[in-house]
Structure formats: C-alpha cells, structure tokens
Structure 1
C-alpha cells in the first residue's frame, strides 16, 4: 500500500466548502489540475466521471462514498491497483475547518506502482486545497 495525506485549516464556512465540492461541474474553476470535466450523473455514489488534466491525460473515476457536508471519496481502478482519494471536512470548533485530501493506492502492484504514480497524483494537493478554500470563500 502507498498513502499520502494533505490538510489545511481555514475559517471559511464548512457549508461553503461543501457547496464547492458537491458541484463537480464547477471543479475546473478552482482546481488547476482539471482542464475539462465530464460527469455521468448526479453527485452520488456510483456515478462515474472523467477529468482531463492540462497535459491532456484523462482519468475515469467513480464516487464510492458521500456523507453530506462531511466527506466524499472517489476511486480509480486499473488491473493491478486501486487509487482511492478521500476528501474530508473536519469541524475544529471556533469557526475553523480542516480540509483533508487523502490518497491510498492498494492492490497487487501497489508497492511498485504507488511510489511511481502516487507522488504524481498528489503533487498538486496543496494547490487544489488552497483553490477550494479560496473559491468557497469568494462564493460564500
């Protein structure tokens, strides 16, 4: 298994953060890693979607867990690996919220593929989280 987690704290309202997250068609507005986005249904467990990076790489994922206002997870499955990313909001009290992105790569090839692709997948997490916080703050 390979794993990575990035978190940031903010005073932006958690409901505003969730609104930015739960409107996937607007993700390209604040996520610089998404050039284009295609959603196959609602923001709901089981819905698949495709994201294309500015470099032209397209990946298909599926929503596998959604707890309204708290977290959502997606998964990418290939022959020998599964890449699961959890996106979580944690109430810290005093009007502060922690935003966390966590990726786990599992499967038979995880020990070799994880160290290769994991850092590529997660390299922009700080920039993406900051983009989310800024977008949610401006939309509140």
Structure 2
C-alpha cells in the first residue's frame, strides 16, 4: 500500500463554501483544467458514483464510499488488481480551514498504478487545491 497526503490551511473560507464546489461534480471542469468532464450519476452521497474523464485518459467511474457533508468525502477508482482511494477532508480550527487530500493505492498491482496514475495525481494536489480555494472564494463572493 502507498499513501501520500497534501494539505493547505486558509483563513476566511468556510467548510460550507468549499463543500459547495466539491459537491458540484458536474462543474469540476471549470476549476480543474486537467479533466474533460465529471458527471454525477445521482446525488452526491455515500454509495453514489460519477463518470470522470481526465484529459488524455480513459473514461472512469468513481464510487463515493463515504460522504459526510461539509466535512469529508472519499472516492474510489478501480484499476485492474488495484484501487485508488482518494480522501478529501475539511478541518475547521479557530477561524482557519485545513483542506486535506490523501491518496492511497491498494492491491496487488498498487505499485504499478502508483507509477502510472498515483504519483501524477499527488504532484497535481498543490495546484488543484489552490484552484479549489479560488473557485470557492469566487463562487461565494
């Protein structure tokens, strides 16, 4: 198993503001320039799923394995003999908000999928988090 995390703490932004952007999966392409589209198949809740197409990548179906509104969500991408578990957390601490993402690769071929997908996802987290913050700020301005 392989795990990597990235977090950033900001002031003046609430968990509800970020959640509004995160839970609007159909609009992810607006603030994530590395995806062609993301489309929810029903409500953004535990057990839900969405279609996801990274630029230059295959069409994927991601499963929402745990959704806690305004707090966290976990999505799972399945690969042959491996899966990527992507955990997103919002942690409020005395006027500041920590936005944390943890990527975990599991399964017999996790080492391979880490190289093919996981490491690039982790490298993109700082820029993606900054874009999320900008979109949350803009959406609630």
Instruction: Give the alignment's TM-score, normalised by structure 1.
Output: 0.91
> Where does residue 25 of structure 1 map in the other structure?
26
Task: Please show how residues 52-63 of structure 1 align to structure 2 within 5 Å.
Answer: 52-63=53-64
Q: CA deviation at 1:116?
A: 4.0
1:35 match: secondary structure: strand
Bigger Cα displacement from structure 2, 84-93 vs 105-114: 105-114
Q: CA deviation at 1:69?
A: 0.8
> Where does residue 111 of structure 2 map in the other structure?
111
Deviation digits for residues 92-111 of structure 1 (CA, Å, limit 9, x no counterpart): 21x21000111100111223
**RCO higher in structure (CA 8 A, sep ≥6):** 1
Q: CA deviation at 1:125?
A: 1.0
**Alignment length, in residue pairs?**
139
Q: Are the counterparts in 1 of residues 71 and 91 from structure 2 also a CA contact under 8 Å?
A: yes
Q: Are the counterparts in 2 of residues 89 and 97 from structure 1 also a CA contact under 8 Å?
A: yes
In structure 2, runs of 5+ residues without a counterpart are none
Deviation digits for residues 65-117 of structure 1 (CA, Å, limit 9, x no counterpart): 01111000100122310110001001121x21000111100111223432443
Instruction: Name the CA shift for 1:37/1:113 in 2 (closer, same or farther; >3 Å).
Output: closer
Hey, which bits of structure 1, 4+ residues long, moved more than 4 A? Answer: none
> Where does residue 123 of structure 1 map in the other structure?
123
Instruction: Give the alignment's TM-score, normalised by structure 2.
Output: 0.90
Q: CA deviation at 1:137?
A: 0.7
In structure 1, runs of 5+ residues without a counterpart are none
2:35 match: secondary structure: coil
